[in-house]
Structure 1
Amino acid sequence: MIAKELHDKTPDQLRDELVNLKKEAFNLRFQQATGQLENPARLRTVKRDVARVKTVLNQKAAAAATDA
């Protein structure tokens, strides 16, 4: 996921993306705990994508606060 793509989305779309990523992270953690995780690197990329989405959401909120 590229940060530029995230900047083009609305806050509602970003929140939906965040929910989807958190569900995926949960499923990956569950697979890791049961020993069924095929690609351990995917867990790291999902965590980073969650952080990217949160960062963009916070930036948009800060920009909206300064505009108001």
Structure 2
Amino acid sequence: MSNTSNYPESDPRHHTQKIKSMLEQSISHVRSDVGKVTDPKAQALFETTAEVLGGLVTAYDHFEQRSEEAWK
């Protein structure tokens, strides 16, 4: 996802798109770090981090799409 938004700054989706981009970059970074370390506990921590951040990306998607009852 690019850092440009199709929404005006007053629209929350302008910001959610930017935040999702930052989260996705972090996910990519920690996943690449898994292969750079040999400590299995650190690898598990990095994978857990990626999974948690992925959950946040999903929550932002649901907010943007108003697909969950809480966001309607």
Structure 1 residue runs without a partner (length 5+):
1-8, 29-36
User: Given residue 41 of structure 2, which amino acid in structure 1 is its aligned partner?
Assistant: A
Deviation, 1:19, is: 1.0
Scaled by the length of structure 2, the TM-score of the pair is: 0.61
- The aligned residue for residue 19 of structure 1 is 28
Q: Which one has the bigger helix percentage?
A: 1
Scaled by the length of structure 1, the TM-score of the pair is: 0.64
Q: How far, CA to CA, are the matches of 1:41 and 1:22 in structure 2?
A: 14
Q: How far, CA to CA, are the matches of 1:40 and 1:25 in structure 2?
A: 9
Runs of 4+ in 1 over 4 A off after TM superposition: none
Larger relative contact order (C-alpha < 8 A, sep ≥ 6)?
1
Calculate percent identity across the aligned residue pairs: 6
- RMSD between aligned residues: 1.8
Alignment of 1:38-57 (within 5 A): 39-57=39-57
Query: What are the superposed Cα offsets for residues 24-57 of structure 1, whole Å, 9 maximum, x if unpaired?
Result: 12323xxxxxxxx2x3210111110010010000
